């Protein structure tokens, strides 16, 4: 491997690059899906290749190929330099990465049970058992289940002297039941929306889910939702369950703190951000109990790694401290740019380690790692008991937010009316809407660490060409006051 990385870096240097890095990546994924008693998809996918990123004439160039030969490495490295030179024709300031970063290291995701070593028959059996339990419930039209195993081996090398080898292992799974009658369709998922939860680690993650043991319950809930009342439209107290809150954190805190968005790099696609640099350190993002961090070091998160894709070590970065906006997700280049903008010494600027690429064929972008709402002090039982009137919502069904990440609307799979400290009535088609700072400003209770865990979002889209990132979000149930809720269906 070192022979190929040296060749790429030497070729780029000889062609005039002032900086170059190469990532060689091999990824193996195994997906097993069942649907209504049959295996609907069983596939193993291998993809391998390399991407070379260079700075030449002060501008970026990137080229990638799936052919891992010496000739192709030379061609692609040269092409990256050629592309950088073309980029330099529309350039204002040369790229500045700040002080060199040199790391020689290895990192491997810890796990108990290798998900690729578990027999496929066992995986099918687990899913079919859950599938059968869901379809035993009258009214269930479709039952689905899936498990995923993912292993990525990647080597990073740079002209600054870094050489990092990593093995990231992810495992995920989930089930969903669809109930249908003549007028309506309702769904319930477990343990997370969109058919799976996923984390870094081994098969023990799926075993802990107990998919068969939860199948009948969610199927019954899906059927019950068909005849439930729709969520009434009103301004009220809202308690969000942990998976819905994880997505709320993702959309309304994770994305707007991406520093490349703030600087306009994503303006044409995903948009920009309301969290402009003048707000850093002074803007009240949420109530004083709201603490949000980007933490790539916690065990099990989908954003947990040893080094990001430009060779920065995994870090824990505060984003919101006691309700005040205090930090961004950053790269080496954007960290320097932010320091200059704020009149700070750019040679002291350091990336928060959030540059991630979705594969060998994509350039790294500023992405979420694990964006966590830190736990509070409440038990869930006390939180419900303390709420005189309101709505509890859980498990995302739809999500939408504006291109500065202010106005949002989320729909959920299931909701309950809360009266006098008890969940008293099942509600369907529940949605809530609001503006990000007002919403987080209304947060008056967060459950404690016993109710907190990290959830996986394996479908975060960003960039052109599109990149699908795997991000993590720690959350515990939390309460928000004066929120507009309702239903529209």
Partner 1 sequence: MLGEKAIREIVGRVLARSQVDETEVLFFGLEERLTRFANNIIHQNVAETDAGVVVRAAVGRRTGVGVTNDLSDAGLERALEMAIRAARLQPEDPNYPGLPDPVPVEPVAAFDERTAAYTPDDRARDVAQVCRRAEEAGVNASGAFRTAVHEFAVANSHGVFVYHPTTIADLTTVVMTDDSAGYAAGSSWKVAEVDVVALGEEAIGKALRGRNPRPLEPGVYPVVLEPYAVGDIVDFIAGMAGGMAVAEGRSWMTGREEGEPVATPAVSIWDDGRDPAGWPLPFDFEGMPRQRVDVIREGRVGSPVYDRRWAAITGKTPTGHALPAANPFSPWMTASAGPLPFHPMMGAGEYTVEEMIAATDYGLYVTRFHYTRVVHPRRAVVTGMTRDGVFLIERGEITVPVRNLRFTQSYVEALANVEMVGRRVHCERPDFTVVRAPALKISAFHFTGATEF
Residues 155-214 binding partner 1 (CB under 8 A) are 178, 180, 182-185
How far from 212 is each of 233, 298, 472, CA to CA, in Å? Answer: 36, 28, 25
The two tokens of residue 470 are 């795997």
Q: Map the footprint of partner 1 across residues 131-150, applying CB under 8 A.
A: 141-142
Binding mask 375-414 for partner 1 (x = CB under 8 A): ----------------------xxxxxxxx-xx-x-x---
SS3 assignment, position 167? strand
Q: State in angstroms the smallest separation of the CB of 94 from partner 1.
A: 11
Q: State in angstroms the smallest separation of the CB of 207 from partner 1.
A: 19
Query: Does 129 interact with partner 1 (rule: CB under 8 A)?
Result: no
Rounded CA separation 449/458 (Å): 24
CB nearer to partner 1: give 221 or 333: 333
* Strands 422-428, 229-230: pairing kind: parallel
Rounded CA separation 200/297 (Å): 12
Q: State in angstroms the smallest separation of the CB of 431 from partner 1.
A: 7
The CA dihedral of 130, 132, 136, 141, to the nearest 10 degrees, is 90
Q: Map the footprint of partner 1 across residues 92-121, applying CB under 8 A.
A: 92, 120-121
CB nearer to partner 1: give 361 or 374: 361
CB nearer to partner 1: give 366 or 476: 366
Q: Map the footprint of partner 1 across residues 270-309, applying CB under 8 A.
A: 271-272, 274
Query: Does 482 interact with partner 1 (rule: CB under 8 A)?
Result: no
Cis amide leading into 465 (omega within 30): yes
CB nearer to partner 1: give 84 or 384: 84
Rounded CA separation 260/267 (Å): 9
Contacts of 123 by beta carbon, 8 Å cutoff, 6+ apart: 32, 147
How far from 4 is each of 76, 152, 312, CA to CA, in Å? Answer: 12, 18, 21
Q: Map the footprint of partner 1 across residues 409-448, applying CB under 8 A.
A: 409, 411, 429, 431, 433, 435
The two tokens of residue 353 are 């380690």
Binding mask 319-348 for partner 1 (x = CB under 8 A): ------------------------------
Q: State in angstroms the smallest separation of the CB of 369 from partner 1.
A: 21
CB nearer to partner 1: give 67 or 482: 67
How far from 330 is each of 4, 157, 352, 420, 472, CA to CA, in Å? Answer: 29, 20, 5, 45, 17
- Say how many residues touch partner 1, by CB under 8 A: 83
Q: State in angstroms the smallest separation of the CB of 479 from partner 1.
A: 22
Query: Does 58 interact with partner 1 (rule: CB under 8 A)?
Result: no
Query: Does 83 interact with partner 1 (rule: CB under 8 A)?
Result: yes
Q: State in angstroms the smallest separation of the CB of 435 from partner 1.
A: 7
CB nearer to partner 1: give 49 or 390: 49
Rounded CA separation 21/154 (Å): 13
Rounded CA separation 193/146 (Å): 12
């Amino acid at each position: 491997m070192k022979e190929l990385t040296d060749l790429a870096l030497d070729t780029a240097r000889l062609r005039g690059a002032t900086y170059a890095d190469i990532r060689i990546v091999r990824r193996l994924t195994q997906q097993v899906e069942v649907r209504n008693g049959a295996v609907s998809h069983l596939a193993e996918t291998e993809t391998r290749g390399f991407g070379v990123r260079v700075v030449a004439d002060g501008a970026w160039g990137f080229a990638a190929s799936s052919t891992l030969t010496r000739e192709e490495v030379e061609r692609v490295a040269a092409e990256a330099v050629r592309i950088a030179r073309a980029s330099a024709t529309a350039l204002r300031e040369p790229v500045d990465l700040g002080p060199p970063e040199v790391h020689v290291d290895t990192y491997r995701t810890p796990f108990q049970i290798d998900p690729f070593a578990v027999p496929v028959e066992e995986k099918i059996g687990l899913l079919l058992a859950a599938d059968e339990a869901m379809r035993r419930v009258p009214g269930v039209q479709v039952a689905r289940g899936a498990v995923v195993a993912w292993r990525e081996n990647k080597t990073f090398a740079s002209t600054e002297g870094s050489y990092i080898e990593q093995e990231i292992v992810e495992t995920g799974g989930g089930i969903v039941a669809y109930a249908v009658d003549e007028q309506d369709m309702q769904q319930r998922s477990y343990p997370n929306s969109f058919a799976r939860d996923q984390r870094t680690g081994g098969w023990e993650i799926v075993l802990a889910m107990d998919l068969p043991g939860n199948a009948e319950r969610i199927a019954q809930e899906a059927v019950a939702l068909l005849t439930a009342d729709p969520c009434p439209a009103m301004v009220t107290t809202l308690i969000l369950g942990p998976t819905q809150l994880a997505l709320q954190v993702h959309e309304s805190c994770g994305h707007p703190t991406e520093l490349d968005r703030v600087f306009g790099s994503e303006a044409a696609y995903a948009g920009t951000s309301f969290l402009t640099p003048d707000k850093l350190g002074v803007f009240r993002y949420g109530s004083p109990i709201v603490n949000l961090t980007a933490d790539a070091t916690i065990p099990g998160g989908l954003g947990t790694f040893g080094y990001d894709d430009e060779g920065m070590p995994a870090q824990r970065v505060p984003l919101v401290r006691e309700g005040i906006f205090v930090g961004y997700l950053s790269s080496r280049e954007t960290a320097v740019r932010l320091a200059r903008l704020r009149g700070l010494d750019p040679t002291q600027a350091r990336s928060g380690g959030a540059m991630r690429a979705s594969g060998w064929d994509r350039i790294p972008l500023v992405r979420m790692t694990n964006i966590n709402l830190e736990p509070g002090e409440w038990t869930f039982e006390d939180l419900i008991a303390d709420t005189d009137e309101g709505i509890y919502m859980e498990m995302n069904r739809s999500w939408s937010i504006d291109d500065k990440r202010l106005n949002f609307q989320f729909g959920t799979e299931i909701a309950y009316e809360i009266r006098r400290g008890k969940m008293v009535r099942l509600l369907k088609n529940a949605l809530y809407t609001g503006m990000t700072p007002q919403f987080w400003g209304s947060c008056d209770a967060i459950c404690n660490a016993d109710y907190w865990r990290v959830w996986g979002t394996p479908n975060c889209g960003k960039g052109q060409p599109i990149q699908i990132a795997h991000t993590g979000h720690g959350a515990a149930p939390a309460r928000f006051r004066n929120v507009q809720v309702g239903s529209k269906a």
